[in-house]
Structure 1
Amino acid sequence: MERIRLNDGVEIPAVGFGVFMIPNGGETYCAVLDALKAGYRHIDTAAAYMNESDVGKAVRDSGIKRDEVFITSKLWLQDYGYDAAKKGVDTSLKNLGMDYMDLYLLHQPYGDVEGAWKALEDAKKAGKIRSIGVSNMTPKIWNSFVPRFSTIPSVNQVECNPYFQQKELRKILDPQGVRLEAWYPLGHGDKGLLANETVVALAKKYGKNAGQVILRFEIQSGIIVLPKSTNPERIKGNLDIFDFELSEDEMEQMRVLDKGKGTHDPEAPGVGEMLLNNYKIHE
């Protein structure tokens, strides 16, 4: 497994296992155990996924040492603001059954972002979090908040795949050493992407499937990827991307697939209010 050094010196596995929309109470537990058995050492959850407890239990029951597994979670909008965010960090730790998290993100860029970020900075200083970052920040949103932060985030986790390569965002992140983490790295199962003739031709050449070619392209682009599946064979296959390498010409063939638009627009009017009103993780 390749590892990437973040701008604060923390090393993160280049491929993580995402558990978005996998139910708590057993299904997430089994999926994470399968991922760990397959060789994953990076698990990405969130308070709003409501499955932190399954993730923590699976890590404990795997027999793998805690310091060998990189755990990410995220603070939900209900817990923004300094005092609420401090409690939110502790709640995530309690749900996970862990003394620290390797990475903790502000899940959405709305509300009292600055107060929440200050709480994450203080939690990092207290040893509760090793690295801190943000999620779903477009260039405009990034520039409206981050210049007022005391520290620069280590990552920005956003939608990213060959059809939406986040080129404008990377022009901002790369000079600051901020890593882009990709959710929906396979386009959320976009049949057009998976059947794209460039992708299919490269898959045939290297004896891989379309998803593996896409993930390889993203890894070679310096992106941290978070593929999700509950199928044990697919879980294993998504990690089998380190025994081949795309040429520069092939990388360019993939780069030109960019359409510059994804499925989610964080700048759309009312998104923050909609998320806060429709997703309550506690009373």
Structure 2
Amino acid sequence: MSIITDPFTLPNGVKIPQVGFGTWQIPAGDVAYTSVANALKAGYRHIDTATAYRNEASVGAAIRDSGIARDQIFVTSKLPAEAKTYADAAKAIDESLTKLDLGYIDLYLIHAPWPWAELGADYKEGNAEAWRAMEDAYDAGKFRAIGISNFNVADQEYLYAHSRITPMALQLQFYIGYREAANVDCARAHGLLVEGFSPLATGFLFGNQDVAAIAGHYDVTVAQLAIRYVLQNGIVPLPKAIGADHVVENTKLDFIISPADMAALNAMNDTAPGEDHNEY
């Protein structure tokens, strides 16, 4: 195994490679197909997509064409944030399974606790209904694990109290200077594994000279430091890249950030103030 494929373990015992390849903002078609193909060639065995990314079909095709056994690749997708009824969720689940065409999905998440056009709105009852459809799909073998994304403490606690199967993972935004401590702590208190998307703050992090200086301590790139930082916080990082060189570069994580440098990074205020946040 390599660093990127060493596993974390979800609460139900399912193993998940500890670094994933994110596909948010990667256009469907040749770009998404090639990016995922390059990621698999570089050694990634954990691919993250979503209905909202509109690239599930391209991601699935790249995985099928890779020649790698299906059970060696961990695939995450996500329920549309707008699906807040049992019927809508069940329909969206089957659509994702059809688009990916991989037989099953390893981890399926409610993408957000509210529709994207209503950030911060209260859809707790709708989440419980969507979750019920996901529980049934999990029981039917369509998923190996189920979880949530972008949930704050209040939305988490409601769902935990109104679920038959406790969520197994929480995916949220996590990068140097933005750690969502309350949301992470709540998820961990309920046994969830936490995943961090946008570990590079969608590129804003590259302009931070303090982060660059610490990366220089290890002769690594800002991207490598940022991904390693998330990993050393016990969180699954989900970096994305399009260029083949960057895809490979982001797998080179064979270094350890010192306790002193981790403390310095953890103490930083938001290192990407231009970045949008979904924390409500």
TM-score by structure 2 length?
0.89
Shift of 1:73: 0.5
Q: 2:119 aligns to what?
A: none
Q: 2:173 aligns to what?
A: 159
Q: Deviations over 1:252-282 (max 9, x none)?
A: 1111014498622343xxxxxxxxxxxxxxx
Shift of 1:83: 2.0
User: Which secondary structure state, in structure 1, belongs to the residue aligned with residue 202 of structure 2?
Assistant: coil
Q: Deviations over 1:193-251 (max 9, x none)?
A: 3343442233222121011111111101111111111111111111111x111122221
Q: Deviations over 1:11-41 (max 9, x none)?
A: 1111111111211122110110011001110
Q: 1:265 aligns to what?
A: 278
Shift of 1:89: 1.2
The answer (yes or no) to whether the contact 2:156–2:187 under 8 Å persists in 1 is no
The answer (yes or no) to whether the contact 1:53–1:95 under 8 Å persists in 2 is yes
Q: 2:261 aligns to what?
A: 250
1:175-186 equivalences under 5 Å are 175-186=189-200
Task: Structure 1: give runs of 5+ residues left out of the alignment.
Answer: 268-283
Residue among 30, 36, 49 paired with 1:32: 36
The answer (yes or no) to whether the contact 1:195–1:210 under 8 Å persists in 2 is no
Shift of 1:125: 0.8
2:276 aligned partner, one-letter code: T
User: Which secondary structure state, in structure 2, belongs to the residue aligned with residue 157 of structure 1?
Assistant: strand
Residue among 115, 132, 140 paired with 1:126: 140
The answer (yes or no) to whether the contact 2:36–2:62 under 8 Å persists in 1 is yes
What is the CA–CA distance in structure 2 between the aligned matches of 1:12 and 1:174, rounded to whole Å? 16
What is the CA–CA distance in structure 1 between the aligned matches of 2:278 and 2:99, rounded to whole Å? 30
Q: Deviations over 1:73-121 (max 9, x none)?
A: 0111343311221221111111011211000000110241111101111
Quick one: structure 1 residues 77 and 170, their matched pair in 2 at CA, closer, same or farther if it must change by over 3 Å? closer
Residue among 49, 72, 84 paired with 1:45: 49
Q: Deviations over 1:37-72 (max 9, x none)?
A: 011101100111111110111001111110000000
Q: Does 1:228 align with 2:240?
A: yes
Q: 1:18 aligns to what?
A: 22
Q: 1:273 aligns to what?
A: none
1:254 aligned partner, one-letter code: L
Q: 1:280 aligns to what?
A: none
What is the CA–CA distance in structure 1 between the aligned matches of 2:29 and 2:265, rounded to whole Å? 39
Q: 1:278 aligns to what?
A: none
1:24-173 equivalences under 5 Å are 24-110=28-114, 111=123, 112-173=126-187
User: Which secondary structure state, in structure 2, belongs to the residue aligned with residue 63 of structure 1?
Assistant: coil
1:44 aligned partner, one-letter code: D
What is the CA–CA distance in structure 2 between the aligned matches of 1:258 and 1:124, rounded to whole Å? 39
Quick one: structure 1 residues 2 and 152, their matched pair in 2 at CA, closer, same or farther if it must change by over 3 Å? same
Number of residue pairs aligned between Structure 1 and Structure 2: 264
Residue among 227, 234, 237 paired with 1:215: 227
User: Which secondary structure state, in structure 1, belongs to the residue aligned with residue 201 of structure 2?
Assistant: coil
The answer (yes or no) to whether the contact 1:163–1:187 under 8 Å persists in 2 is no
What's the Cα RMSD here? 1.7
Q: 1:276 aligns to what?
A: none
What is the CA–CA distance in structure 2 between the aligned matches of 1:39 and 1:265, rounded to whole Å? 30
